[in-house]
Amino acid sequence: MAQNDEQLKKTVAGFAVLLTTVTEMVRAKGGGKPALLDAYDDASDQIIGGLRNNGIPDDQLQAIHKALARLRLAFEEQKP
């Protein structure tokens, strides 16, 4: 059970990083965008990994992954 609690804490931390990154992406103009996209990818991977390790079914993981990917794509396409 302690391992699941630790994994859940990492997942929640991933969400916090993701939200912070998205906030900065919305505010960013130009140069910092590649670094923010990298941070977004890292946070997304942390979230998906944490959810997978907590027994979330694959179909639900796929839905979450698709939503994260669509959001990232929207930021990539955003004009400076």
Q: What is the pLDDT of residue 56?
A: 83
* Structural domain count of the chain: 1
Per residue in 1-43, pLDDT (tens digit) is 566 778 778 888 888 888 888 878 777 766 677 888 888 899 8
- Structure confidence at residue 71 as a pLDDT band (50, 70, 90): confident
- What burial class does residue 66 get, using C-beta atoms within 10 Å of its C-beta: 0-12 exposed, 13-18 middle, 19+ buried? exposed
User: In 1-80, where do the E strands start and end?
Assistant: none
Residue 35 domain boundaries:
2-77
